[in-house]
Amino acid sequence: MLRYIAHRLLGLIPVLIGVSLLVFLSVWVIPGDVVDIMMGDEMAQSAAAIERLRAQMNLDEPIHIRYLTWIGNVLQGDLGVSLISGEPVLDQILRRAPVNFQLMLMAMFFIIVIGIPLGTLAAYKQFTWIDNTIRIGAIFGYVIPNFWLATIAVLIVSLYFPRSGVLHYVPFSEDPIANIRGLLLPGLVLSLTTVTYIVRLTRATVLDALRQDYVRTARAKGLSERIVMTVHVIPNSMIPVATVLGIQVGVLIGGLVLTEEIFMLPGIGRMILLSIESRDFMVLAGSILFVAVIFVLVNLIIDILYAFLDPRIRY
């Protein structure tokens, strides 16, 4: 097991090199740079000043030199400073990451406590009205776009419950209860698509498990339906669900630009968006690299969890 983890961690290196290269190249192909944005109309006036500024920021060097300098610093734990505000990129990330982490936990909570039980129930009551209702509901939930639902939620809350405090983000350190209250709605909205997907996936895997011979054996042993379901059916059907949940953890931490925008949450998604607008490639590269590392690490953790869910997998 330890060898496997070490192996996987080593495997991260090429992945992260690839990601960092892609990030860097994509910043490079965006027309214009931070200096263009900063100087605006004054640009034509003092070409010499602009060149000086570019040189200060090392923007005049060739792309590969800039990349190597950057990656060299990253490897020493230095993600650089924002080209606009001068604040260290790592500080910005660490200030904003808890929002995303909390949001992910909140959404995961809804996904697990709503999605898995509903999917299991639908499978257990296959072809009854319960199953049909859940399935139709899941399709509706799946086709409703997140940004639309988020907008409607904000609209309804601000029109009818303006004092509820549901739309105000407060950092956890200031007021934990207000913090959770403020993340409830974004978490719920964010979870919807995945909930419906997990419902359908769980239904399929539970149905598959119910057809297995070992379930017949469990019944032949005289176990009650509750034990058959909780001990024999559900653990086996959770193996594929865990994979999808793992990927979702990465997605939820990484790219929530729309949800963050609509609910005005100070998360990493907005930071990425702002850095693109201002061509602040230091912030952009750093935050995308951070998201990529989180994504890859979460998948590693899921792979390790696999071994506990399914003993046939041994590394």
State which residue, 126 or 146, has the beta carbon closest to other proteins: 126
State which residue, 91 or 225, has the beta carbon closest to other proteins: 225
Instruction: Determine the size of the site formed for other proteins (CB under 8 A).
Output: 22
Least distance from C-beta 260 to other proteins, angstroms? 39
State which residue, 52 or 221, has the beta carbon closest to other proteins: 221
Distances (CA, A) of 138 to 131, 192, 195, 196: 10, 9, 8, 5
Distances (CA, A) of 212 to 5, 124, 131, 152, 187: 32, 14, 20, 44, 36
Site pattern 220..249 for other proteins (x: CB under 8 A): xxxxxx-x---xx--xx-------------
State which residue, 135 or 232, has the beta carbon closest to other proteins: 232
Residue 194 makes CB contacts below 8 A (sequence gap 6+) with 107, 111, 115, 248, 252
| 310 binding other proteins? (CB under 8 A) | yes
Least distance from C-beta 235 to other proteins, angstroms? 6
Within a 13 Å sphere around the CA of 145, how many CA atoms are in the beta-carbon half?
A: 4
Least distance from C-beta 311 to other proteins, angstroms? 5
Least distance from C-beta 303 to other proteins, angstroms? 17
Cβ–Cβ < 8 Å for 262, 149: no
Q: Tell me which residue of 89, 93, 71, 67 sits closest to 80, measured CA to CA.
A: 89
Cβ–Cβ < 8 Å for 238, 115: no
| Window 54 to 83, contacts with other proteins (CB under 8 A) | none
Least distance from C-beta 222 to other proteins, angstroms? 4
| Window 161 to 190, contacts with other proteins (CB under 8 A) | none
| Window 195 to 224, contacts with other proteins (CB under 8 A) | 212-214, 216-224
Question: Cα–Cα distance between 233 and 212 in angstroms, integer?
Answer: 9
Q: Which residues contact other proteins by CB under 8 A?
A: 212-214, 216-225, 227, 231-232, 235-236, 309-312
